[in-house]
Amino acid sequence: MGSSIAAWTRDLPNVRPPLRLDASQPDSWAVEAASCRAIFVANMTHIAPWAATQGLLRGAGRVLRPGGELLMYGPFSVDGKPTTESNAAFDAALRGRNPEWGYRDVADVAAGAAAAGMALVERREMPANNFMLVFRKE
């Protein structure tokens, strides 16, 4: 994965090379505090334990500079429910494979972000029943 990201961003002076991070261990990230303008994560929260999402939020809260943004793309539930029947089926299949996996509710993610010093500033519907959640560091 890292080599693909490196190839696509090679000529972008404002994108750092990819780093391999353990989202559930945010204190181990080799990233200077308040040094990032943005962090993008795609399709992680539903195929990882809740602890990884919590770690991602804490880590982002530490490394984002004031006004920096965490952009999270993927499927989420809203008000405790999947947004479509196909999302409900996929969520059930994920939980069947691993009980620690499954869709995360936007409100729960927003609460974790708030505890890390970030506010949900946008929830945009995306193709394939996904969302882009944008959190801004206060």
Average pLDDT along the chain: 95
Beta-strand relationship, 104-105 and 76-77: parallel
Q: Would you call 66 exposed, middle or buried from its count of C-beta atoms within 10 A (0-12, 13-18, 19+)?
A: exposed
DSSP 5: H
Single pTM value for the model: 0.91
Give tens-digit pLDDT for 8-36.
999 999 888 888 889 999 988 989 999 99
Domain ranges of the chain: 36-137
Buried b / exposed e across 41-62, counting CB within 10 Å, b at 16+? beeebbebbbebbbbbbbbbbb
CATH number for 36-137 (one of 3.40.50.150, 3.30.450.20, 3.40.30.10, 3.30.2420.10): it is 3.40.50.150
Q: Are 100 and 50 in contact (CB under 8 A)?
A: yes
Within 10 A of 5 (CB to CB), how many other CB atoms are there? Answer: 13
